[in-house]
Structure formats: structure tokens, C-alpha cells
Structure 1
Amino acid sequence: MKVNKHAEVKHKSHKWKDAKGKRCRPPVSSSNVNSSPVVISMVKEHQESVRKKPSVKRLKNKVKSVSNCKYGWTTEDVRRGRLEGEALHHCAQRDDRQNRTVLVMQKDQTLCFRRKCLLTCLYGHVEVMGFTIEEGQQSYSLFSPAPHCPLSIRGLESIRALESRNEASHILQRYLSQASQKKLLKSITTNSSIILLEPIETPMTRFLSSFPDLSELFNLPMTELMSNIPKQNAHFGCFHENLTCFSLTGDIDGCPVILVCGTKNVGKSTFIRVLINTLLNYTASVEYLEGDLGQTEFTPAGCLSLLTVREPLLGPPFTHQQTPDHMIYYGQSSCDSYLDRYLECLKSLWCRRSQTREAPIIINTMGWVKGFRFQLLVHMIRFFPVSHVVQLSHSGFSHCPALTPDFLRTANGFQTHPLIESHSHPRMYSHISIQAEFQGVGSQGTAKHQRSNEQRDLSLLAYLSQLQYPDPGPVRPLHSLTPYQVPHTAIALGVTHGDMVPSHMFHASNGSLVGLCCLAEKAASKGGPVFLSQAPICPCVGFGVLRGIDMARGLYFLLTPVDPSVLREVNCLLFGAISVPSCVLTTQVRSCFMFFILFPCYEKCFQLLKSHFRPFYFKAMLL
């Protein structure tokens, strides 16, 4: 049942009543409830009440789920084993004044929810996506939007038992009124966990919600919510046991190199997120090498990156965008056209990895595992010193061969040949095969915002949300922001996904997303624009939108959230096949952005904006 500041009032209005109008509990079957002590006691109490009281009848109006649409977080009572209905009412109390809820959870009880909230563990510990949150730790932001599997909070057995009711009351008195404390104390046992749930709003959520098509991303209609949770939540349960076994058998001290592969829509990204969270329970950080261009985890699509993860991933990719330690802008969501460049980029990133190897590293791969893409996968396993290969599959797919060490010894790679010589020793690593069996496995979701291109747009919009002020306030449309102006002679312009006539370069790149890159050499100019004949493999420090081009004055106008101290190292703009989401150009509030994109060279347009532009010169110009 949903919980909000009106939950108590609404719940009472829909209580079951007997013939005389007195409230009593509805019939409950012990086969439909959790086996926790709290629920068992409720069942026994109910059975006795049925024997003593007259028969009951159902109200004409069905029980309505209560949602906190205004403040953005909800809980959902579905199926056995989860906090639901009457049980949730008895173990949750809300502070209306501070807009927060305190929840008591027993071991193995789960709370499945949508939208977003800030979770603080007040006592005991709970698990979210494989990560254990304990008392005394910081608060964590949880994001559970429509296109992805709903998050579940699971109660764990407390290490330290509550000594007395006074100790529990002391914990609760900071967050609840005395009346609410009394109600909640009844459901607390010695091994209970107590959590605090609060609403959360960030620049990212405000920016995304400002677009009409995304306004319901964290505020879903109940009909869609009810239809999605039972099906999608199976995604987690499918891998939970495998993840637990893997994390315990993995050689954490030996800093394993874990390559994860599998076909599309088999749960690979979810598996990796939960695996990272599980490893963070044992180590301070986990390294991550992104090899999937289409479904990137920490950056906009089209990037290959290497970064260190220190915080748990408690939401989909667009909710935890961050700047990698090293990144290369490939410029496409697939590597089919330039396989050699793709491999060179991965090798370049691996060479930049610290040789101390103080943390385990996870390597993500593309979702295509047939034909030459399978040979590419074989090549990657041979190149990287992997200690574990996790291969995900499902029964409805024509499986590729198991990537065991024995198979690798005779397989053809993209740039490698079988090791058939007698003196060659096969690569030794642990091969872990996981069969996914959740509903809908192998097929792309059809609900809103579930398609791959929509997921890529969300990640890019989340990146651009960094242009917003961190403090609460109205959303600033991108066309209202002041861009940097960069001389043509200070920076080179290149294309990642094909050849282009220099005279067409400006027309194609104007209004595009560009990678801000750092060439090893200064961009050579004879007084005009600098064009690269081919895309270089060079570091990328972030992204920007080429807002406009002034041919008369020889200036680029660029919007980017990258810090100016980092921008001074940039001397190259690369644009590829990753486009700015159409909603940025068409549906922003008072959007005049399209006007300046279409007519960037008209002097009259820039006369209107002259006072808004700020000069900024990159390092290349100052040399």
C-alpha cells in the first residue's frame, strides 16, 4: 500500500466493517502472508477475532492504494514475501510536518517501490540491489523510474539486537510524534531494522521533469505501476542467488578482472549493477571498463571509458552519470563500421589503468554475440587478463558456445588465431554461466521510455542537467544559458563516423553534440578553421552542444558543464552519430533555441545575444 501524509485518513475510510459498522480486519490466509513473527502474530490475532465477531462484508468501494504523488516517493504492496496491505500499515508511520516516513522491517521482508526517495538506516541494516546499508552510514538516493526494474528494500537480520523498548523509542522520538511512536513500537522486535524514507529532488530530476514527455517519469499513473511491478521485479530475483555465490567465491584480495558478456535484453546491465554493489560491501572501490557503446552505464552513449566506482548504484544509468578517470569518444552506438578503432580505444584505456591494481575491475561488453561480434568477444578475452568470464544467456536464444578456457584455445578471434601449438598453455580463468529466466527475457520492453534510443536520450539529458544550478529553483532552459565562445583557429574540428567535405563540416556539426577532446599536438592553423582528416584516438574530458557558429567573426559557441580549468586543455571538438535529443530543440519552455540553430550566422541574431556571450579561450589559443 502506498504511504503518504494522508495515508492514515484514507486507510480508515476503507476499513472493513461488520454489520453494526464496527471496524475489523478482513479475512487473511496464512498462505498469502510473510512468515515473519509480526505477520504470524497478526494472523493468529485475526483468527481469534473472526471467531468472536460477526461475519464481515466488503465495502462497495474497493481499497485504494495511496500514493505520495506530490512528494515523489511511493511504496507498493505486491505478492507474497513483501510488506503489504495491513502489514505495511502497522509497520510504517508518517511525520506529516517533515514529510517523511519511518518503516520497521523484519528479516527477509521486502518493500518494492517506484519513483525516488532518500533512504537512511536508523537501526540494523537493509539491502538494496546487493548493497548493504547499515546504521551510521550516510543517506542514499534511490531511483526507481518507469523504464527500469523497480527497486526492492530487503530487511536483513540485525547484528546487534535492540536491548529494550526504550532504545527503540529513543531512535524514533527524533522522527515521529509520541502517538506514532507508540503505534510503531508494537511491530519492533529485537532483530528489527528501522529505516527513514524522505522525498528527494535533484537538478537531474527537475530538468528531466521539465520536458512534457518526461514529466511522468517519476510520477507514474497507478495503472501502469501495478502492471509493471510483478513482471519487472522478477529481473532481480533471477540473479540474486548467483550474485551472492559469485561475490563470496570471488578472490577479492587478488583484484579479479571480471568480463561480463551476454546477448541483448538478458539482464546484463542489471547484473553488473548488483555485482558492483555487492563487491562494494567488501572493498572500498570497484573499477569499471565500459565496452558497450549503445548502453553505457556512467556516460552518454558512444563512449568507451574507465572509471572507479566508490558509491553504490541504486538506480538506472541516467541517475548516476559521472566523469570517468579516462574516456574516449567513439561517436557511435555500435562498433560495426570501425572495429579496429574500437579495439584500439579499449587497449588505450587499459594501458591507462593503474598498474597497482588495488581494486577488482569489471569489463562490460556489447550485446551482440553472433558472427564477427562473437570473434570480437573472443579477442577481448584473450587480450584482457581476465580471471572470471560471466556469460549470461536464456532459453529462447540460439546460444553461442560457452566461452570456457578449453573453447578459447581453439576459437578464432577477430585479430587472433587458435593456440594449437603444443607448447602453448590455455588461458586459465573461471567461467560462470547464468541462465536468465525472468518474464520477458530476450525481448526489448515496449512500455514508454524502454527502447534503447530512449535510454540513450535519458543518459544524455541527465548529463546536460549538470548545467542547472545545484540549489532548488526553476529549471533553466538550455537556450537561456550563456555559452562559451571559442575561436576557429584555437581548436580542431573532426568527424568520428565518416568522411566529410570540409565545406560541409560547419553545416553538419552546428547544433550537434560534440566530444571535448585533447590532442597531443597543438591544432595547426593558418588563420582559418582547422579540420581533421580522420578521427583521432585521444582523451575526452566531457561533452558540449555546439550552440552556433559565427563565420564572420570565426567563433564557435559552446554549451558545456565541464569546468573551465579542464576546458583549457581542450583543443579538439569531435562530433559523431550521437544526436541531441529532439526535446531539447522543440519542447523547452519558451524555446527559441531552434531559431539560433537554424540561423547561426546572421549578424542580427548575434546582436541580440551579444551581451550574453562570455569569451573563453582554450589553452591551444594561448600557446
Structure 2
Amino acid sequence: MADSERRFSRALYRSVWSKIYKIRPKLVLCRRDRLRLRAPGRCERHRRRRRLLRAQAAHAGCGERGGAAGEAGEAGERPGERPGERPGEARSPRAASPSPARDPLPPRPLAPFPFPISALLPAAPRVRFPSPPPARGPREKRPVPLVRQLGPGRALLLLPVEEDFTFGGTCRLTCLYGEVEVFGYAIRQGQPPQDLFSTFTHAFLNITAVRYSMPPKSMKELRRELRALLRSRLTLEDRSWLVKNFSPLCSLVMLEQLNNCTVNFITSFPGLSCVFMQESGPLQINSETLALRSVGIKKEKKKRSLTLTESVQSALRELVSVAREEMDDCLVILVCGAQDVGKSTFNKYLINQLLNSVPCVDYLECDLGQTEFTPPGCISLLNITEPVLGPPFTHQRTPQKMVYFGRPSCRNNCENYIEIIKYVFSSYKRESPLIINTMGWVVDDGLLLLIDLIRLLAPSYVVQFTAAHAKSMPVLTPEFVEGADGLYTKSKSKHRNRCFEFPDLGDTWESTDEEKDSPVFLNGHKLLYVHSEFIFCKTVRNRESHNRVLRGLAVLGYLSLLMPSVPKPPSFLPSLTPYQVPFNSVALRVTHSDVAPTHILYAVNASWVGLCRIMDDISGYTRGPILLAQTPICDCVGFGICRGVDMEKRVYHILTPVPPEELRTVNCLLIGSISIPPCIFCTQRGLEGTIPYITADYNFNLPGASEKIGVRTFTAEEGMQIDPTFYRKVK
């Protein structure tokens, strides 16, 4: 017991104290640090204020002494006398200082304060000194756009010059003052409002305030002009808020809620409302968030919007400048590249830029899978006069000439694809610039087919896109196109003027009598090699499913033309009255496969059909159905759904938005591999009882039925592999 007491009474060694010192808590503060963290008391605040006032007085006194010294030097004062002291007046002796004597040093001027003291404490009424305005540093925040709610479904957006506003959703934009740019299209004061579609399937749109020219005016004159301009649109309170926050070169736009039949029809299907607006709780709810929500949009981050690289911007500037100069000789631009490199986005941006200076732009669609203005599977020629401010399913338009190919790809029928392009391209009248969109198939036969298109269409410019994730392809210089063999054409010898000779095209090309006598020469092109860095969400595994969704949305966008005007709610497709088409008035043809004549009506029923016009006379047939032996190259006036086949009356029930005056000329129905979206059959509202064309009893014992249902993910060579995680065995 004594040993244990003796052992505990020993003092700790130095090594033990060092260990304790090392393992002490790192957040333990000393007394001075604790006092610094504590809020200053009343005495401390008075002490700090006195120090600041003394510093201000010393700074002001320094300036006064410097000015008085200059005056004294001019008046001839002696250096030993103080300013304001009478000559000969005796000075009062100073008291001896207890501090040791120091070497005399030259007086050091006081440095001016880099910031006003009034920024820290209330300014003293007796001591004031001017401070220069602080220069804007590189890290200082730029002015942000201001939003004010005007009422239900209306908001006011005030944009400083060269500032962006990124949003998601749909709205109608009206420029009240200044100028803004949306997706390359300039919207100025006094122009009609534009409908904006910033969907979650594509990059978000930006509203950018453009620096515009204006006569020199004072701020008072600008505010007076602004009040007079907006007196009929805004209330007094809104005008006061605007005048208070307005600065020179600002742009003012009004955002209104958009009631569009296409948006209402697509969002009526369960699960598709998130295409235009995704409901997610904001981090903070303020007046700006509530104002934007009443319009139907949501503010998004700028990094999720469209970003153009320097090479893309350089190509756009060159093409727009050339289109402005060459008004007589129209510009032909062919855009090519691999899949998912931004060809369609570039085409829309270029169309909007050209519409700022030219009245219209022609557009030749050669991409069967991802069409821009028509349902998929078409080759069309359109005349665009209005800006393109949304994804393809929001601006379905009637083309000038269209042919229904019936497939999303031309891999197995390239010859027919080339013939259709020749037929559609013959309608181009060279009255406006032409933009040609091509497919993303640029390997093997696809590259050879692209060389044939360049020789056939003879573009002035070829814009070739490349990206880090895209498949490599050779640079399509004029020398490479001249020396390479295409899929159906051979390499041409170089002429003296480096042109291509196509006597075959002289029959279909519209020209004068003098031009028809001479051979047709197609000049070489100029290549613009563009590197893109578009952000995309497609991969090798989900590319096909993603494209299938976009094709389904394009079909829904076309069917939305069946809906009534905006004030009325969207109608359901089963409630619409179809057209009755007799068997003997139209011919039938399945474009993508061979179907036995006894099964042709099964293929037509509940299918997406192209309403076409052929030159053959089929009026001699009394019964029907009339079958065609080959797929014709003919005009397509529109599309529809075959809702049913009445065998007793021998009529087809067709639901289509094509007007009756054009339906009278239709005498052929083409059925392709483009399918109707499943939501039309399964999730459409207004259906009661048994859903037609849908069954839950599937017999897997039928020939061709599979016992395993899986999701095909990627292609290895020519075959498709099934992901084993999606296997489902059926007993």
C-alpha cells in the first residue's frame, strides 16, 4: 500500500508533459483569442471610434499642412517658422521627453486610406475627406437580372447589357425596350412576341441582352421616354420600380404564360409533363421564384445551357457574312459529322442568325432518324420564315416538298435514298440560302454515301463537325472528294477550273435555254472544320432508346395539330371523328418489308401511314385493296393513323390533321417501320373499358415468339446482345 502511494505521489517526467501538450485539443484558444471572438463591448467600441477619428484627423491635417507649406514657400517664410506664426514671436519651450534621444529621420508622408472610413462606422459630421470610387475587380459580381411579377402569369425581366438569363420551361417573350437574343435570333423593341420552348430533353435557352445603338441622351430623358413608352402596359407602381432600377443600355422584356396546343397535348399523357417543366423544390423561395413559377418557367444554371466553341462561332460569322454579300448567288451549306456532335443544333442556330438579315432560308432534311420539322422517316425541303426556338417536336411544319422513306435509316436501301434526294432537291429554286442536314452515319458505306451527296448537291460550303467522343472520319477537303470513289459515283478527273461535271443532273435542274445547251459544272466547295464540345447524355447503351423517345415526341407533336384552338382543353384521340377512305380509292404499299397480300390489312390496321400522291391511275379498280408491287417515289402531303378497317363497308378509318382540300388528291397509303408511340394506346386519358389493340395474354408458343424478353443494349459487329440483367423467364 505504501508503495502504491509512493508511486502516485511522484511528479510527471518532461516526456509525459510533452505528450500531454501534443495531444491537447487544437481548438483551445488563449485569452486574447477568446477576447477577439467575443463581441466588443461599449468601451471597446468607443476606443476604436476614437482611434479612427484620430486617423481621419491626421489624414486631413496632413493635406492641410501640405497646402499651407506650399503657400508659405511662396510667401518667403523662413523654414524654422510655423505656418500662421507671427515673425519674431517666441515659442513656448517643450517639456523634456523621458524617452532616449533618437537619430533624426526625414518626415514620412502619410499614405492615403484605400477605402472610406464611413464604410465601417457612421461618418463623423465634422471630419470628411473624399475617396475615389473603387475600381471593379476581377472577382466582383456582375449585375444580375431583376424579375418582378406583374400579375398572374406575367413577369417583367430587366437585363443589364450583355447579361444572360437561363431558364427551363415554356413562355412567350415580348421585348418592351432594347434588344435581346435567344438562340441566335435577335428580338427587338416593337417586334411581335415569340414563343420559347426550353425543354429538359435539350440544352436550355438563354435570353441575352445585346448592346444596341442609341442616340446620346441624359438619364432624365431616358427615364421620361421609358415612362411614356410603358404607360399603357404597366401600372404606376411597376413603372416606378422600373425607373428606379433602370440603367443605360438595359433591355426590358415581358414573360407571359404560354398556352400552346402542342404543349397541352404532350403534357396530357402521364409521365410526359416533365419534358417541359420538372417539379423540384427550390433552395429558397423568394419573389423571383414565385414570379417565374407563375409564368411556367424556372431559372437554371448557365452551365446547362448551350455553349458554342470558338470554332463554331467563327464558322457562324463567316457563313452569315457570306450570305449577306451573295444575295444573287445563293449559298448552299452542307453540314456533316458523326452522331451526337451538334449538327442539328448548329443548323437551328444558323437559321436564326440568317433570319436576322434575310427574309427566308431553305432547309433540305436528309437525316431520316432525327428530322427537324417533320415526323421521322422523311426527306423534305422546307422554306423557313420564322425563327426556330425549341426542339423538333415543338415546331412541326408543312414542307414545300416531302417524300416518305418509311425507315429511320437507309442502310439496306441506299440507292432509293439517293434517288429520293435527287427528286426532292430538284424543287430547290435558288432564291434563298440552303442548309442541308445529313445523317450521322459516316463510316464504311455511310462515308461513301456522303461523298456522293457532296458531288450531287454541289454545296458552296461543307461544315464538318468533329468531337472527342465521335468516330474519326477523313477531312472532306475538295481534293479528297475529287479523288475518292463514292458508293455510286467514281472519282472525277480534275478540270482546269476544278469543277465537277454532272450531265445527268441537267434534265432535272431548272435553268434557262442557254444554260441547257452547255454542260453543267458544279464548283468545288470550301471546307469549315469545326470542333464541338456539346454536352450530351447519350451513350452507346442508351442512344437507341433516347432516339426512340425523341421520334415518339415528334409523332406526338405532329398529332397535336389535331387539337382545337388554345382556349379549349385538349381533346382525346378516340373522341375525334376519322375520315372514311374506300378500299378502291387508295393503293397500299409496305416499304420496309415484304408482306403477303392476305396479311396486308393486318399491317395497315393501327399503323402510322403516309398520305401520298402517285401519278398512276387507280380509278379502274372496283373492289380492293389495291397493292403496289414497288415502292414509288412520290409526294407525301401528310401523315395519319389508321384507326380501324371496316370489312363490311370496305373502308379505312384515317385520323389525320391534313386539310380536306389536300386529302382529295391522296391516292396512296405507305406503311413504314415508324411506329406510333405506346402512350397513344396505353396511357391516353379518356379510355374506358377494354383498350383496343392491347392484350395481356401473349402466347409464347407461337412461331417467332421468344421465351426471354430483354433490353438490347449495344451492337457487336452486326448482332445485338441482350443485357443479362433484364432477362425474364416465362413459364
TM over 0.5: yes
Aligned to 2:305: 233
After superposition, the Cα gap between the structure-2 partners of 1:277 and 1:527, relative to the gap in structure 1 and judged at 3 Å, is same
Q: Which moved more, 1:309-318 or 1:586-595?
A: 586-595
Q: Alpha-carbon deviation of 1:444? A: 7.2
After superposition, the Cα gap between the structure-2 partners of 1:196 and 1:252, relative to the gap in structure 1 and judged at 3 Å, is farther
After superposition, the Cα gap between the structure-2 partners of 1:435 and 1:226, relative to the gap in structure 1 and judged at 3 Å, is farther
- Within the alignment, does 1:403 sit opposite 2:460 as a pair? no
After superposition, the Cα gap between the structure-2 partners of 1:304 and 1:228, relative to the gap in structure 1 and judged at 3 Å, is farther
The 5-angstrom pairing of residues 22-61 of structure 1 reads 51-52=120-121
- Within the alignment, does 1:282 sit opposite 2:339 as a pair? no
Aligned to 1:372: 445
Aligned to 2:289: none
What SS class does the counterpart of residue 114 from structure 1 fall into? strand
- Within the alignment, does 1:295 sit opposite 2:370 as a pair? yes
What SS class does the counterpart of residue 242 from structure 2 fall into? helix
What SS class does the counterpart of residue 391 from structure 1 fall into? strand
Q: Alpha-carbon deviation of 1:82? A: 14
After superposition, the Cα gap between the structure-2 partners of 1:301 and 1:146, relative to the gap in structure 1 and judged at 3 Å, is same
> What amino acid sits opposite 1:488 in the alignment?
F
State the structure with more CA Rg.
2
CA distance in 1, matches of 2:494, 2:680: 57
Q: 1:574 aligns with which of 670, 673, 689?
A: 670
Which structure 2 segments of 5+ residues have no match?
Answer: 1-38, 40-114, 123-137, 283-296, 500-522, 696-731
- Within the alignment, does 1:545 sit opposite 2:545 as a pair? no
Aligned to 1:169: 227
After superposition, the Cα gap between the structure-2 partners of 1:181 and 1:83, relative to the gap in structure 1 and judged at 3 Å, is farther
The size of the alignment, in residue pairs, is: 522
Q: Is the 8 A contact 2:334 2:437 kept in 1?
A: yes
CA distance in 1, matches of 2:408, 2:299: 31
After superposition, the Cα gap between the structure-2 partners of 1:186 and 1:282, relative to the gap in structure 1 and judged at 3 Å, is same
Aligned to 1:95: 150
| Residue-by-residue CA offset, 1:36-55 (whole Å, 9 max, x unaligned) | xxxxxxxxxx99996359xx
- Within the alignment, does 1:517 sit opposite 2:612 as a pair? yes
Q: Which moved more, 1:202-211 or 1:584-593?
A: 584-593
> What amino acid sits opposite 1:139 in the alignment?
P
> What amino acid sits opposite 2:360 in the alignment?
S
CA distance in 1, matches of 2:589, 2:668: 7
Aligned to 1:612: none
Q: Is the 8 A contact 1:409 1:418 kept in 2?
A: yes
- Within the alignment, does 1:588 sit opposite 2:684 as a pair? yes
CA distance in 1, matches of 2:141, 2:172: 19
Q: Is the 8 A contact 2:144 2:159 kept in 1?
A: no
Q: Alpha-carbon deviation of 1:186? A: 2.7
Q: Alpha-carbon deviation of 1:209? A: 0.5
Q: 1:430 aligns with which of 516, 520, 526?
A: 526
Q: Is the 8 A contact 1:279 1:286 kept in 2?
A: yes
The 5-angstrom pairing of residues 311-390 of structure 1 reads 311-354=386-429, 357-390=430-463
After superposition, the Cα gap between the structure-2 partners of 1:424 and 1:491, relative to the gap in structure 1 and judged at 3 Å, is same
Q: Alpha-carbon deviation of 1:512? A: 0.4
Q: Alpha-carbon deviation of 1:593? A: 9.7
> What amino acid sits opposite 1:396 in the alignment?
H
| Residue-by-residue CA offset, 1:58-93 (whole Å, 9 max, x unaligned) | xxxxxxxxxxxxxxxxxxxxxx99999x833xx322
Aligned to 1:153: 207
| Residue-by-residue CA offset, 1:234-259 (whole Å, 9 max, x unaligned) | 44456345423431244541210100
CA distance in 1, matches of 2:594, 2:455: 32
CA distance in 1, matches of 2:189, 2:209: 13
CA distance in 2, matches of 1:572, 1:352: 21
What SS class does the counterpart of residue 148 from structure 2 fall into? strand
What SS class does the counterpart of residue 273 from structure 1 fall into? helix
CA distance in 2, matches of 1:445, 1:221: 27
Q: Is the 8 A contact 1:235 1:267 kept in 2?
A: no
The 5-angstrom pairing of residues 448-467 of structure 1 reads 451-467=546-562
Q: Alpha-carbon deviation of 1:201? A: 1.2
CA distance in 1, matches of 2:251, 2:581: 56
CA distance in 2, matches of 1:589, 1:598: 15
Give the aligned CA root-mean-square deviation in angstroms: 2.9
| Residue-by-residue CA offset, 1:505-558 (whole Å, 9 max, x unaligned) | 111121000000001122252422101112111000000000000112211001
Q: 1:532 aligns with which of 602, 620, 628?
A: 628
After superposition, the Cα gap between the structure-2 partners of 1:595 and 1:200, relative to the gap in structure 1 and judged at 3 Å, is same
Q: Alpha-carbon deviation of 1:393? A: 0.7
- Within the alignment, does 1:484 sit opposite 2:579 as a pair? yes
Aligned to 2:588: 493
| Residue-by-residue CA offset, 1:166-197 (whole Å, 9 max, x unaligned) | 11122333333322322222332232221111
Aligned to 2:704: none
What SS class does the counterpart of residue 435 from structure 2 fall into? strand
Q: Alpha-carbon deviation of 1:227? A: 12
Q: 2:236 aligns with which of 157, 171, 178?
A: 178
CA distance in 2, matches of 1:176, 1:450: 48
> What amino acid sits opposite 1:107 in the alignment?
V
Q: Is the 8 A contact 2:259 2:566 kept in 1?
A: no
What SS class does the counterpart of residue 324 from structure 1 fall into? coil
> What amino acid sits opposite 1:92 in the alignment?
V
Q: Alpha-carbon deviation of 1:439? A: 3.8
Identity %: 38
> What amino acid sits opposite 1:95 in the alignment?
L
Q: 1:136 aligns with which of 190, 201, 205?
A: 190
> What amino acid sits opposite 2:364 in the alignment?
L
After superposition, the Cα gap between the structure-2 partners of 1:539 and 1:189, relative to the gap in structure 1 and judged at 3 Å, is same
Q: Is the 8 A contact 1:158 1:192 kept in 2?
A: no
Q: Is the 8 A contact 1:94 1:176 kept in 2?
A: no
Which structure 1 segments of 5+ residues have no match?
Answer: 1-18, 20-45, 54-79, 600-623
Q: Alpha-carbon deviation of 1:441? A: 8.4
> What amino acid sits opposite 1:433 in the alignment?
Y
Q: Is the 8 A contact 2:338 2:471 kept in 1?
A: no
CA distance in 2, matches of 1:593, 1:340: 47
Q: Is the 8 A contact 1:397 1:442 kept in 2?
A: no
CA distance in 2, matches of 1:545, 1:417: 43
CA distance in 1, matches of 2:445, 2:253: 50
Q: 1:194 aligns with which of 248, 252, 264?
A: 252
What SS class does the counterpart of residue 551 from structure 2 fall into? helix
What SS class does the counterpart of residue 216 from structure 1 fall into? helix
Q: Is the 8 A contact 1:319 1:462 kept in 2?
A: yes
Q: Is the 8 A contact 1:83 1:111 kept in 2?
A: no
Aligned to 2:70: none
Aligned to 1:613: none
What SS class does the counterpart of residue 483 from structure 2 fall into? coil
CA distance in 1, matches of 2:416, 2:649: 35
After superposition, the Cα gap between the structure-2 partners of 1:582 and 1:190, relative to the gap in structure 1 and judged at 3 Å, is same
Q: Is the 8 A contact 1:303 1:328 kept in 2?
A: yes
Q: Alpha-carbon deviation of 1:122? A: 1.2
Q: Is the 8 A contact 1:92 1:184 kept in 2?
A: no
After superposition, the Cα gap between the structure-2 partners of 1:481 and 1:407, relative to the gap in structure 1 and judged at 3 Å, is same
Q: Alpha-carbon deviation of 1:164? A: 2.1
After superposition, the Cα gap between the structure-2 partners of 1:514 and 1:133, relative to the gap in structure 1 and judged at 3 Å, is same
CA distance in 2, matches of 1:318, 1:114: 16
TM-score by length of 1: 0.78
Q: Is the 8 A contact 1:444 1:450 kept in 2?
A: no
> What amino acid sits opposite 1:233 in the alignment?
S
Q: Alpha-carbon deviation of 1:260? A: 0.5
> What amino acid sits opposite 2:453 in the alignment?
M
CA distance in 2, matches of 1:440, 1:587: 29
Q: Is the 8 A contact 1:479 1:593 kept in 2?
A: no
> What amino acid sits opposite 1:468 in the alignment?
M
